[in-house]
Structure 1
Amino acid sequence: MRKIGLIGGMSWVSTRTYYEDINQLVQARKSTSASAPLLIESLDFTDLMRLSTPEQWAHAAQVLCDSARRLEQAGAMALLIGANSMHKIYDTVAAAVSVPVIHIAEVVGAKMKADGITSATLLGTRNVVMESFYRKRLVAHGITLLPPVIEEVEEVDRIIYEELMQGKATRAAERTLKTMLTTMGNRGAQAAVLGCTELDMIVDVDANVLPIYDCTRIHAEAAVDWMFG
């Protein structure tokens, strides 16, 4: 297996999920005693969350580029950015290294296209849902995304930052997301994209009112595909 590097810590909760998913997939393909050849750099999320100004994003780009270079120098032959929102600076990070960086929205979009999905709703932090950097990758695969409803966007953003990134998953948040998904299905969504690496804490990925495309799981699957070549 080829060695992969993960830029993590954004948040540590989602990094834990990546580690678990990747290793379980490796075990399923190889043997129950196998584990993934994986390098992880866990960044301090304190100065990387809720970014809004160009200066803040420029600082984040520098932090992630430095991390990507360290992982490459340590032997990683491909990289993952373990946060949907940080794919806003994907192009800058990818240009900083000579190894491939697997884009989370690209692999999600490809899987949805293969499954015949043409209409979906996108859930995530405010910047993922409202800005174009993530949406356009899915649209390029022939997927029409429901227009965001600002009240829903703000509530999901609050749950992510104030609860899930602190490691808290509440029944109230589960009910809120299930209600939203039901409403989005009534608006015409064939499926839902979990564009936040923590949302699987409160959304049942395998049994819900809509088919769920869990970006973290799909990203991990793409990483393991690459490991096995």
Structure 2
Amino acid sequence: MRTIGLIGGMSWESSAEYYRLINQQVRDRLGPLRSARLLMYSVDFGSVEQAQHAGRWDDAAAILVDAARRLQAGGAECVVLCTNTMHKVAEQIQAAIDIPFLHIAEPAAQAALAIDAPTVGLLGTAFTMEQDFLKQRLIARGLTVLVPDEAERQAVHRIIYDELCVGIISDSSRQTYQRVIESLTARGAQAIILGCTEIGLLIKPQHSALPLLDTTELHAQAAVAFALGD
């Protein structure tokens, strides 16, 4: 089994989900007492979040590059960045290490195509919904990507940072997300990509008429596939 390197802490709420999902999947694959070989370097999200909202992406990248190098030095055989938004600096991280970087968009795109849903709605932080670093990766795989309108994007973003990243799960916020999903459905979305690693804490399959493609779960699956040599 190869050793997985996780860059976590953005937020630790979703990083804990990565740890749980990866170990559950290894147990399911290999047997009841089996678990994953992995390392996690968990950063201080406060420093990253401040850099994000100030537009200091190079400063945020430096924090994650340092984490990736530490994981490689510790014996990790791949790097998994446990956040969608910071894939904005994915190329800088990959350039700094000699082991594979498992990009979060790849399993999401594969999952959409596998269920014949080439038009997807994308939920995430404002950075993820409005900038191209994730959308273009999905488009390059043949997907059409729809994002919520401006007011909806603001609501989705606020709930992520003010609630989900600090462990608050609210029925009213779930209803807000459900309305956004309904709006994307009316515009032609065939599936919804949960493009923030915290959204799956709030929105479950029973909360949506459309299939949900949870990037946290799919990314964890990709990490396990790599670890087990699939």
Contact 1:6 1:82 in 2 (8 A): yes
Superposition CA RMSD, Å:
1.2
- 2:158 aligned with 1:184: no
Who is 1:223 aligned against? 223
Return the offset for 1:208.
2.1
1:64 aligns with 2:64: yes
What's the CA shift for 1:182? Answer: 1.6
| Equivalent residue, structure 1, for 2:205 | 205
- Structure 1: distance between partners of 2:127 and 2:185: 22
**Given that residues 206 and 212 in structure 1 are in contact (C-alpha distance below 8 angstroms), is that contact kept between their aligned partners in structure 2?**
no
Whether 2:158 is the aligned partner of 1:158: answer yes
Alignment of 1:3-152 (within 5 A): 3-49=3-49, 51-54=52-55, 56-152=56-152
Following TM superposition, the consecutive aligned residue runs of length 4 or more in structure 1 with deviations greater than 6 angstroms are: none
Asked if the contact 2:112/2:120 (under 8 Å) is kept, the reply is no
Provide TM-score, normalisation by structure 1: 0.96
- Matches of 1:179 and 1:69 in 2, distance apart? 41
Q: Deviations over 1:150-188 (max 9, x none)?
A: 101000000000000010101111111112112211111
Q: Could you tell me the percent identity over the aligned residues? A: 40
Instruction: Give me the whole-angstrom Cα distance separating, in 2, the residues matched to 1:108 and 1:201.
Output: 17
Change (3 A) 1:127 1:173: same
SS in 2 for 1:101: coil
Cα distance, 1:53 vs structure 2: 4.4
**Cα distance in 1, alignment partners of residues 120 and 59 from structure 2:** 33
CA distance, structure 2, for counterparts of residue 67 and residue 147 of structure 1 = 31
Secondary structure in structure 2 of the residue aligned to 1:117: coil
Give 1:207 deviation, angstroms.
5.7
Q: 2:35 is matched by which residue type in structure 1?
A: S
User: Which structure 1 segments of 5+ residues have no match?
Assistant: none
- Shift of residue 52 of structure 1? 4.0
2:49 counterpart SS class? coil
CA distance in 2, matches of 1:109, 1:206: 22
- The answer to whether the 8 A contact 1:178-1:209 is kept is no
Per-residue deviation, 1:11: 0.4
Paired with 2:16 and 2:156, the residues of 1 have a C-alpha distance of 21
SS of 2:80 mapped into structure 1: strand
Give the Cα–Cα distance (whole angstroms) in 1 for the partners of residues 139 and 53 of structure 2.
Answer: 24
Q: Provide the TM-score with structure 2 as the length reference.
A: 0.96
C-alpha contact (below 8 Å) 2:148/2:180 kept by paired residues: no
Match of 1:5, SS state, is strand
